[in-house]
Amino acid sequence: MGYFLQQLVNGLELGSLYALVALGYTLIYGILELLNFAHGDVFMVGAFLAAGAAAALVHNEIAAIPGGFVVVLMLLVAMGGAGVLGVAIERVAYRPLRNANRLAPLITAIGVSLFLENAVFVWVSPAPVLVPTNALVSQGVIQAGSVATPLTGLVLFAGALALMIALDLFVFRTRFGSAMRATAQDREAATFMGIDVDRVIMVTFFIASALAGLGGVLFGLRYASVDFFMGYGLGIKAFTAAVIGGIGNIRGAMVGGLLLGVLESLSGGFISTQFQDTFVFLALIAVLLLRPQGLLGQPVTDRA
């Protein structure tokens, strides 16, 4: 029983990570119907910015200023940097193609993803880069009976949950949120209603990418190391999570992420880690066959 609970906790933690990235995927898809395949790599760049900020302030495991301030600075740098990067990607790679064939932005998205990976590889580091967590955050472990999890893992879980709620409130309870939903429903009609669609899309990209940056910081604090290829695998899993939950649906991204994490952990823990991914993608196929719109998604009628 203890083993089961431990694997469940492991899965929820991993699932929170997927959910964090999936939220950004789903937000952008919800507005633009665009699969932003570069999102995982924006997450990676955010993580590198955070690692860089930490490296500048921590030498030989001793922080120049209190660890808490370093973390705040990492958050600012990573979220700001990733947000700006997201806006730049939209401006350069997606906006010129907004009225083109729907496949075109998909290709540029993959191009941007490859560019970011290789740029970080060449200009920053081909090897994993350290996040000096020992000097930054408590390395404490929370023990409940036989189940243990690092404090930073709990922060990851809480962070994902809080963000999902905040995003949900933002999209459904604010003026700007309704402008976003209007843009999502009918871009042309939204323009007639006086909504600056370009601005809405830009802000959406900023929020989604800043979220990825935040995810990068939480990742760094939990796993203590970042590398240039981390965005790829995470991006694919997060995309899968978003589809399972119902792409375009914020709560769906959270549910999909957690479900995927738990599924992966339990299948790995009880069956075999050799077939872990087989079960994950089997689940994706099953969901697509039984509920093509995803668990929480609305059936879509094809818009012209």
Partner 1 sequence: MAKPRILVLAAIASVGLAACGGGSTGTATVNKPDKVQIAAEGPFTGPQAVIGAGALQAIQLAVKDFNKAGGVNGTQVTLLIWDDQHTAQVAQNFQAVGISDPTVLGIVGPMNSGVVLGTAPGLQQASPPLPLVSESASAVAVSESGWGVVHRVNARDDAQGPADAKFMMDQGAKKVFVMDAKSDYSIGLADQTQKYLKDHSVSLQRESAQQGQKDFSTIVTKIKASGADWVYFADEGPEAVFLVNEMKHQSLTIGNNIQFLGTDGEEDASIIANTQGAYAGAYATNIAADPAGLTSSAAQNYVTAFKAEYGPDSLSKAGPFYGSAYEAAQVLLQAIKNSPVKNGKISRADVLSNLGTATFNTIFGSVKFDSKGDVTGGGIYVYQAKGTQMVVVKQVSG
Of 66, 26, 42, 59, residue with least CA distance to 245: 26
223 touching partner 1, by CB under 8 A: yes
- Residue 122: CB minimum distance to partner 1, A: 8
Residue among 106 and 266 whose Cβ is closer to partner 1: 266
Six-digit token string for 87: 């806006």
Residue nearer to partner 1 on the CB measure, 231 or 252: 231
Is the Cβ of residue 43 or residue 205 nearer to partner 1 in the bound state? 43
- Closer to partner 1 by Cβ: residue 49 or 184: 49
How far apart CA 98 and CA 188 sit, in angstroms, is: 13
Strand, helix or coil at 208? Answer: helix
**Which residue type does 187 have?**
R
Q: Which residues of 199-228 are buried (b: 16+ CB within 10 A; e: fewer)?
A: ebbbbbbbbbbbbbbbbbbbbbbbbbebbb
Instruction: Compare residues 53 and 156 and give the one whose CB is closer to partner 1.
Output: 156
Query: Which listed residue (72, 98, 197, 225) binds partner 1 by CB under 8 A?
Result: 225
Total number of residues that touch partner 1 (CB under 8 A): 43
Beta bridge partner(s), residue 59: 62
Scanning residues 50 to 79, which ones bind partner 1 (CB under 8 A)?
Answer: 61
Q: Which tokens go with 44?
A: 């990676």
- Of 131 and 179, nearer to partner 1 (C-beta) is 131
* CB of 114 vs partner 1, minimal distance in Å: 9
User: Does the footprint of partner 1 cover residue 298 (CB under 8 A)?
Assistant: no
Of 199, 208, 291, which is closest to residue 34 (Cα–Cα)? Answer: 208
The upper half-sphere exposure of residue 54, i.e. CA atoms within 13 Å in the direction of its Cβ, equals 32
Residues 75-134 touching partner 1, rule: CB under 8 A, are: 118, 121, 125-130, 132-134
User: What is the x/- site pattern for partner 1, positions 140-179, by CB under 8 A?
Assistant: -x------x-x--x--------------------------
Quick one: 276 or 293, whose CB is closer to partner 1? 276
DSSP H stretches of helix in the chain: 2-32, 39-57, 67-89, 103-123, 151-173, 175-185, 187-192, 197-223, 230-245, 250-270, 276-290
Q: CB pairs under 8 A, 24+ apart, for 96-103?
A: 102/33
- Please write down the HEC assignment for all residues of 94-129: HHHHCCCCCHHHHHHHHHHHHHHHHHHHHHCCCCCE
Stretch 228-287 residues interacting with partner 1 (CB under 8 A): 229-230, 232-234, 264-265, 268-269, 272-274, 276-277
Q: Could you tell me the CA-to-CA distances from 216 to 60, 92, 231, 274 in Å, in that order?
A: 23, 23, 9, 27
Indicate the residue among 60 and 101 with the shorter CB distance to partner 1. 60
Taking the complex as a whole, how short is the minimal distance between the CB of residue 294 and partner 1, in angstroms? 23
* Stretch near partner 1 under the rule CB under 8 A, chosen from 26-34, 66-74, 224-232, 250-258: 224-232
| The one segment of 6-14, 98-106, 172-180, 241-249 that binds partner 1 by CB under 8 A | 6-14
Q: According to CB under 8 A, which one of 120, 212, 224, 296 is a site residue for partner 1?
A: 224
For residue 147, the cross-strand partners are 144
Interacting residue ranges for partner 1, rule: CB under 8 A = 3, 6-7, 10-11, 13-14, 17, 61, 118, 121, 125-130, 132-134, 141, 148, 150, 153, 219, 223-225, 227, 229-230, 232-234, 264-265, 268-269, 272-274, 276-277
